[in-house]
Amino acid sequence: MLKKSLQTTSLKANIIANFAGNGWSALIGILFVPIYLKYIGPEGYGLIGIFSSLQLVLSLMDGGLSTTLNKEMSRLSVLPGKEQQMHNLVKTLGTVYWFMAFVAGVIALGLSPFLARYWVQPKDLSVQTITYAFLLLSISLTFQLPINFYTGGLQGLQRQVILNTIRIIFTTVKNVGALLVLLFVSNSILAFFGWTLLVTILQAISMKYILWDCLPKTTSKPIFDKQELKKIWRFAAGIAGISLTTILLTQVDKIILSKMLSLEQFGYYTISCTLGFMIYQIASPLTQSYFPKFSNLISLNKTDELKNLYHQGCQMISVLVLPATFILVFFSKELIFIWTKNLTTAENTWMITAIYALGTGLNGLMNIPYILTLSYGWTKLGFYQNIFFLILMIPLTIFLALKYGAVGGAFSWAIINTLYFFITPHLIHKKILKGEVVNWYWKDSLKPLLACFFVVFMARQIIAVSGFNSTMQLIIIITIGILSIISCFFFADSLNKKFFARYKK
């Protein structure tokens, strides 16, 4: 029974598994961050933050191969006689990927002494200790990147259940084990990073074995095939370009504001962005589930089934993303105070959070249309639109920040994503699923959006949340959130019709 559950490829099981994996990782982060701060201190945890930024930059060496493997595995898995090609593809791309991971690790190793001596400004930790910590993190990076590659392969095979099972196991082992090391072995940051390196190596090896085990069986050994690289290089290059421009687009406001704002105000802006980006954690499990399914149907030329599944996915995104968005828009001040217990922080961040969340929510509604373009192998649109919005966002952010400070940066993000919402769907549906743009706007997006907005807005006007203690405030906000989800669901035709049909049956 357990083996059968782990091997399932159903869309519903994959969505549940992705939410479980993402939810568990988020919960572990919430629970263990205060504990780590206690044992390794703010400086130790700050090293993780600095290296995370470096890892984000070096992840561009992925070259789009993990997303490419996802797409190709999902496409080939439904075509007859492609078993050997799948093995050769994993062998070929895996060899290239490990080489790039090694190069990224070497670059990180080379930068470690420089970062330790000239970039960070420690008070308690020695330069030698920080250097050794960065060296351990650099080796971890070499194994962390291939984990992303094998994740893409398992997602393409629609094995998200076993993927998230492994993810939950290693997330737990990494964090609980690190705590035990700090408690009973050594409370130094080197012991902490040494343990995380060990777990990362074991996870990379396990993921590699599991992906190969999930591939369809063949009688011939896999070979390195240059022809496979020739077939996929355009798509991989397109994904790499999208990744680069996306990183720039999501970070350019922070780069500009870090120079224009005081460190204190920029800190408040960072907190607001962190809260606003939590909306992506809701959309991500759905996009991970629908992407390989779209690629399957496109390979089989099942356009009608693709169209139905597309609208279902778009409406599911609306039902989950819009309530979270409007709750943050209308109740950000109360939620931030409940979270931080700091009135000053709440006063300085609630408006930024509300505006930033609105932009992120509109962006989240575009996730399913975006992965539809990738399923068709159309990467030019994503790349060129990112370039366009990036060119527009830089002067807009500077102008609004000069006029409104940190709030101006949030306004810039919201304006860019509003344009994205109203422009890009027309371009997508002009080429893909022609004639569906009206259905996408009205049935998939605007009907649920208006219903959700009405419920949360009226609740904001009627209920005086500030008159209760923090626990009661949280209960009221959660209740409003549930009511907004229900209202969205009843106006999402594809979802509620399917639900009521199953209920009657």
Single out the residue of 104, 106, 90, 79 nearest to residue 154, CA to CA: 90
What pLDDT score does 234 carry?
87
Helix orientation angle between 367-375 and 406-431, rounded to the nearest 10 degrees: 40
Q: Helix 406-431 crosses helix 263-276 at what angle (to 10 degrees)?
A: 30
Residue 317 C-alpha from the chain's centroid:
14
- Evaluate whether 319 touches 492 at the Cβ level (below 8 Å): yes
Phi-psi region of 289 (alpha: psi -120 to 50; beta: other; left: phi over 0): alpha
> What global pTM score does this model have?
0.83
pLDDT of residue 419: 95
Give the HSE-up count for residue 269: Cα atoms under 13 Å, Cβ half-sphere.
26
CB 328 within 8 A of CB 353: yes
pLDDT band per the 50, 70, 90 thresholds, residue 37: low
First to last CA, the chain: 26
Confidence of residue 250 (pLDDT cuts 50, 70, 90): confident
Q: What is the pLDDT of residue 311?
A: 93
pLDDT grade for 258, boundaries at 50, 70 and 90: confident
Across the range 334-350, mean pLDDT stands at 83
Above pLDDT 90, what percent of the chain?
A: 36
Mean pLDDT on 164-180: 90
Cβ(276)–Cβ(359) below 8 Å: yes
In this structure, what token pair is assigned to residue 28?
């572990």
Does position 2 have pLDDT exceeding 60, yes or no? no
Compute the average pLDDT of residues 100-110. 86
Amino acid letter for position 170: F
395 pLDDT band (50/70/90 cuts)?
Answer: very high
Closest CA to 69 of 171, 157, 188: 157
Please give the Cα distance from 345 to 333 (Å, whole number): 9
Q: What is the pLDDT of residues 371-392, one digit of tens each?
A: 999 999 899 999 999 999 999 9
For residue 77, give the 3-state DSSP assignment: coil
Residue 150 has what pLDDT? 93
pLDDT at 427 over 90: yes
Measured CA distances, 472 to 465, 466, 478 (Å): 8, 10, 10
Cα separation, 364 vs 286, in Å, equals 11
Q: What is the pLDDT of residue 449?
A: 94
Give the pLDDT mean for 101-116.
84
C-alpha distances in angstroms, 402 versus 261, 271, 386, 416, 478? 9, 20, 24, 18, 36
- According to the model, what pLDDT value does residue 415 have? 95
pLDDT value at 1 more than 90: no
pLDDT of residue 190: 85
Confidence label for 52 from pLDDT (cuts 50, 70 and 90):
low
Q: Give CA–CA dist 492/444, Å, rounded.
A: 6
Cβ pair 203, 150 in contact under 8 A: no
Confidence of residue 48 (pLDDT cuts 50, 70, 90): low
Could you tell me the pLDDT band of residue 30, with boundaries at 50, 70 and 90? low
For 115-164, write each residue's pLDDT tens digit: 777 766 666 777 788 788 888 888 888 898 899 899 999 999 988 899 99
* pLDDT one-digit tens code per residue, 280-317: 888 888 888 898 899 889 988 999 999 999 999 999 99
Q: Where do the H-state alpha helices sit in 77-159?
A: 83-114, 127-156
**Average pLDDT for residues 471-482, to the nearest whole number?**
88
Q: How confident is the model at residue 78 (pLDDT cuts 50, 70, 90)?
A: confident
| Residue 350: closest CA among 463, 465, 250, 441 | 465
Mean pLDDT of the chain, nearest integer: 85
3-state SS class at 225:
coil
What is the chain's alpha carbon radius of gyration, rounded to the nearest angstrom?
23
Q: Please give the pLDDT value at position 330.
A: 93
Hey, is 25 helix, strand or coil?
helix
Given a cut of 70, is residue 8 above it in pLDDT?
A: no
> Strand, helix or coil at 17?
helix
pLDDT for 82: 85
- Would you say residue 32 has pLDDT above 80? no
Please check the confidence at residue 87 and state whether its pLDDT lies above 60.
yes
Q: Look at the block and give the residue holding tokens 């970039």.
A: 119
Say yes or no to pLDDT of 46 above 70: no
Rounded CA separation 92/222 (Å): 9
